[in-house]
Amino acid sequence: MGPEHEPGKMNETRSTAGVPARAAALRLLDAVLRRGLPLEGALDSAARGLDRADDRALAHAIAAEVLRRLTDLDALIDGATAKPLPPDAKARFALRIALAQALQLGTPPHAAIATVLPLVDGGPRRLVHGVFGALMRSGATLPALPALPPELAARWDAAWGDDVTQAAARAIVAPPPLDLTLRDPATTAAWAERLGGISLAPGHVRLPAGARVTELAGFAEGAWWVQDISASLPACLLGAGHGRSVLDLCAAPGGKTMQLAAAGWAVTALDLAEPRLKRMGENLKRTRLSVKLVTGDALTFAPAGPADAVLLDAPCSATGIFRRHPDVLQRVRPRAIAGLAERQQAMLARAAGWVKPGGTLLYAVCSLEQEEGERVADAFLASHAGFESRPVAADELPAGFVVDALGRVRVLPGTLEAEGGADGFFIARFAKR
């Protein structure tokens, strides 16, 4: 059979204008699933050659939807193939992309398949077309709630219970709202009204998903910045600065740095990553907040002297921010979590040496792994007799957030669910004796 008679060739030219965006989605998925890279970090390279912002956004949206639904998509594919396709097979990737579009993103099936067949040119086009067609004819659908990857579901079930894992599944399919942190908390009611949002805490405004950030009132003048409500808690727990010094380690892109500067702290902000610091410089310029920026490694950096407070918002698995970064659901493995927890302990040990007697050390991670949050905090206290816990009181937190029995903040899926949810987080506060 000549190619012109192959299945899927009919009407293909008409509907293949979007092939480069699908090819970019394939490269993105390959980067995340095969090479273990973060979705956002892989975007520039995967989307090279895509001139239009719309195509880039489409490639990202397709890849993100595949990552949210990977377990269910693979179950459909496996149920429709006589012999399972290998996990890394291009045909499997092409089918995931076509099915995510047809079943979740509203792409007409003929366009969904026509735009992925060129990705398997010279390969199993016929198989891809056949499996996709069979699934479409059988009226295949995806379940209302996504199945989590089995290893992750088992880990979260064991750590937090089935209710939390179920809440995570609901959160995966609920577009997260847009949270803003205000430079001046005294203006909360005014900004909530002006932007048409709600406020869940002083200095916080929540808008529905989908707002175009740079077009909102107050963006250009730097009246606020984007920050999930959970991520805004650590800086709030340090209180007003009154000119005292704070060392913000791992600071970029600067959400917490800006909160601290706005609350009257004299901030020294350190980060390892130049591009992230550059973004932070832009944020500080927009918000007209003054901070001393330092490029450096928290594991080797030595400040001029100790500080009244040290904030370690440590690099972590980021499993708490799966709503906006669904790649973490698929690529974070126990070995990586153990390595990150070890690095956090080393960073905390360094940070401990820079706190003035009587000062505060705050440790935070946007992780849902006990190994990173609770166990790191336990190990720190067990190995640093000069520090004690400075427990967080429930009334220091906005309604809906809770502290554990040891006065540490643990934000789990299900928190603020009726209001649009919150990212997973852990915060522990220590005092130097």
Ligand X SMILES: C[S@@+](CC[C@H](N)C(=O)[O-])C[C@H]1O[C@@H](n2cnc3c(N)ncnc32)[C@H](O)[C@@H]1O
Classify residue 247 by its DSSP letter.
E
- On whether the CB atoms of residues 416 and 377 are closer than 8 A, the answer is no
Closest residue to ligand X, judged by C-beta, is: 250
Is 248 within 8 Å of 267 (Cβ atoms)?
A: yes
CB closer to ligand X, 28 vs 365:
365
Minimum CB distance to ligand X, residue 276 (Å): 5
- Per the residue annotation, which of 236, 250, 316, 366 is the catalytic one? 366
Instruction: Report whether 179 contacts 420 (CB < 8 A).
Output: no
Burial 183-220 (b: 16+ CB within 10 A, else e): bebebbeebbeebebebbbebbbbbeeebeeeebebbe
Q: Mask 385-424, x = binds ligand X (CB under 6 A)? A: ----------------------------------------
Q: CB of residue 399 vs ligand X: minimum separation in angstroms?
A: 23
Indicate which single residue of 72, 313, 371, 423 sits in contact with ligand X (rule: CB under 6 A): 313
Closest separation between CB of residue 281 and ligand X, Å? 13
Using CB under 6 A, count the residues that bind ligand X. 18
Residues near 17 by beta carbon (within 8 Å), at least 6 away in sequence: none
316 is catalytic: no
Q: State which of positions 235-294 bind ligand X (CB under 6 A).
A: 250-256, 270-273, 276
Residue 396 burial (CB count, 10 A): 16
Classify the phi-psi angles of 416: left when phi > 0, otherwise alpha if psi is within -120 to 50, otherwise beta: left
Nearer CB in complex with ligand X: 426/430? 426
User: Is 349 among the residues that bind ligand X (CB under 6 A)?
Assistant: no
Least separation, in Å, of the C-beta of 260 and ligand X?
Answer: 10
Our CB check for ligand X shows the closer of 66 and 316 to be 316
Window 165 to 224, contacts with ligand X (CB under 6 A): none
Distance CA 194, CA 333 (A): 43
Q: Which residue number, 20 or 326, has a Cβ lying nearer to ligand X? A: 326
Listed ranges 92-100, 196-204, 295-303, 328-336: which one lies at the site for ligand X (CB under 6 A):
295-303
Other beta carbons within 10 Å of 34: 12
315 binds ligand X (CB under 6 A): yes
Smallest separation (angstroms) from ligand X to the CB of 318: 7
CA distance 433 to 426: 23
Which of 298, 352, 409, 428 lies at the binding interface for ligand X (CB under 6 A)?
298
149: Cβ contacts below 8 Å, ≥ 6 apart: 70, 71, 329, 330
Backbone angles phi, psi at 241, to 5 degrees: -85, -35
Tokens 């045909």 belong to residue: 91
Rounded to whole angstroms, the Cα distance separating 71 from 146 reads 8
- Which residue, 165 or 245, has its beta carbon nearer to ligand X? 245
- Among residues 278 and 333, whose Cβ is nearest to ligand X? 278
Least separation in angstroms between residue 204's CB and ligand X is 15
Of 72 and 248, which CB lies nearer to ligand X in the complex structure? 248
CA dist., res. 408 & res. 402, Å (int) = 9
Closest distance of CB 339 from ligand X, Å: 12
- Residues annotated catalytic, as ranges: 366
Q: What is the contact surface with ligand X in residues (CB under 6 A)?
A: 231, 250-256, 270-273, 276, 297-299, 313, 315
